[in-house]
Amino acid sequence: MSILKADEWAAKVIKQEEIDKYLVNGRDFIDEEVIYNKLYSNRKPDKQFIRDIIQKSLSITRLEPDETAALLNVKDEDLWEELYEAADKVKRKVYDNRIVFFAPLYCSNLCVNNCLYCGFRKENSEEKRRILNMEEIKKETEAVINEGHKRMIVVYGEHPLSDANYIAESIKAIYSVKKKAKHGYGNIRRVNVNAAPMSIADLRKLWEVGIGTYQVFQETYNHELYKKLHPSGPKSNYLWRLYSLHRAMDAGIDDVAIGALFGLYDWRFEVMGLLYHTIDLERQFNIGPHTISFPRLTPAAGSKLSTNSEYLVKDEEFKKLVTVLRLSVPYTGLIITAREKPEIRREVIKVGCTQTDASTKIDIGGYSENTNLQQKDKQQFMLGDTRSLDEVIRELAEMGLITSFCTAGYRCGRTGDKIMGLLKECIEGKFCKLNAVLTFREYLDDYASEETKIAGEKVLLKEIEEIKTIPFFQQHNLVEKFNQYYERVSNGERDLYL
Counting contacts by CB under 6 A, is residue 206 touching ligand SAM?
A: no
Q: How many CA atoms lie within 13 A of 276 on its CB side?
A: 24
Taking the complex as a whole, the smallest distance from the CB of residue 381 to ligand SAM amounts, in Å, to: 4
Residues between 133 and 192 that touch ligand SAM (CB under 6 A): 155, 157-158
Residues between 202 and 221 that touch ligand SF4 (CB under 6 A): none
Return the axis-axis angle of helices 428-446 and 416-424, rounded to nearest 10°: 100
Task: Indicate the residue among 269 and 381 with the shorter CB distance to ligand SAM.
Answer: 381
Counting contacts by CB under 6 A, is residue 121 touching ligand SF4?
A: yes
Which residue in 317, 117, 103 sits closest to 212, CA to CA?
103
Counting contacts by CB under 6 A, is residue 120 touching ligand SF4?
A: yes
In the list 39, 111, 275, 324, the residue contacting ligand SF4 (rule: CB under 6 A) is 111
Task: Indicate the residue among 91 and 121 with the shorter CB distance to ligand SF4.
Answer: 121
Which residue in 224, 211, 208 sits closest to 156, CA to CA?
211
In the list 91, 98, 235, 339, the residue contacting ligand SF4 (rule: CB under 6 A) is 235
Measure the CA–CA gap between 104 and 293, rounded to whole angstroms. 14
Cα 461 to Cα 256, 308, 392, 457: the distances in Å are 34, 48, 19, 6
Measure the CA–CA gap between 319 and 85, rounded to whole angstroms. 12
For residue 120, give the 3-state DSSP assignment: coil
* Number of C-beta neighbours around residue 232 at 10 A: 17
In the list 251, 258, 297, 455, the residue contacting ligand SAM (rule: CB under 6 A) is 297
CA 145 to mean position of chain CA atoms: 19
Residue 198 binds which one of ligand SF4, ligand SAM, none, with CB within 5 to 8 A depending on kind? none
Task: Indicate the residue among 13 and 351 with the shorter CB distance to ligand SF4.
Answer: 13
Residue 295 binds which one of ligand SAM, ligand SF4, none, with CB within 5 to 8 A depending on kind? ligand SAM
Residue 217 binds which one of ligand SAM, ligand SF4, none, with CB within 5 to 8 A depending on kind? ligand SAM
In the list 104, 157, 212, 456, the residue contacting ligand SF4 (rule: CB under 6 A) is 157
The site map against ligand SAM for 334-353 (x = CB under 6 A) is -----x--------------
Taking the complex as a whole, the smallest distance from the CB of residue 172 to ligand SAM amounts, in Å, to: 20
Residue 306 binds which one of ligand SAM, ligand SF4, none, with CB within 5 to 8 A depending on kind? ligand SAM
Measure the CA–CA gap between 108 and 131, rounded to whole angstroms. 4
Taking the complex as a whole, the smallest distance from the CB of residue 113 to ligand SF4 amounts, in Å, to: 4
Q: How many CA atoms lie within 13 A of 43 on its CB side?
A: 5
Measure the CA–CA gap between 276 and 232, rounded to whole angstroms. 26
For residue 214, give the 3-state DSSP assignment: strand
Task: Indicate the residue among 120 and 269 with the shorter CB distance to ligand SF4.
Answer: 120
Counting contacts by CB under 6 A, is residue 195 touching ligand SAM?
A: yes
Q: What pairs with residue 194 in β-bridges?
A: 155, 215
Measure the CA–CA gap between 106 and 113, rounded to whole angstroms. 17
Residue 194 binds which one of ligand SAM, ligand SF4, none, with CB within 5 to 8 A depending on kind? ligand SAM
Measure the CA–CA gap between 217 and 195, rounded to whole angstroms. 9
Counting contacts by CB under 6 A, is residue 295 touching ligand SAM?
A: yes
Measure the CA–CA gap between 482 and 460, rounded to whole angstroms. 14
In the list 99, 216, 248, 478, the residue contacting ligand SAM (rule: CB under 6 A) is 216
Counting contacts by CB under 6 A, is residue 158 touching ligand SF4?
A: yes
> Which element (helix H / strand E) includes 179?
strand 178-180
Give per-residue burial for 310-320: e unless 16+ CB within 10 Å, then b: eebbeeeebbb
Would strands 333-336 and 355-357 be described as parallel, antiparallel, or unpaired? Answer: parallel
Q: How many CA atoms lie within 13 A of 388 on its CB side?
A: 15
- Give the amino acid at 356: T
Taking the complex as a whole, the smallest distance from the CB of residue 197 to ligand SF4 amounts, in Å, to: 10
Counting contacts by CB under 6 A, is residue 194 touching ligand SAM?
A: yes
How far is it between the farthest Cα atoms of the chain?
65
Residue 121 binds which one of ligand SF4, ligand SAM, none, with CB within 5 to 8 A depending on kind? ligand SF4
Counting contacts by CB under 6 A, is residue 267 touching ligand SAM?
A: no
In the list 118, 132, 249, 324, the residue contacting ligand SAM (rule: CB under 6 A) is 118
Counting contacts by CB under 6 A, is residue 380 touching ligand SAM?
A: yes
Counting contacts by CB under 6 A, is residue 196 touching ligand SAM?
A: yes
Number of residues that bind ligand SF4 (CB under 6 A): 9
Give the footprint of ligand SAM on this chain (CB under 6 A): 117-118, 120, 155, 157-158, 194-196, 216-217, 219, 261, 295, 297-298, 300, 306, 339, 380-381
Residue ranges in contact with ligand SF4 by CB under 6 A: 111, 113, 115, 118, 120-121, 157-158, 235
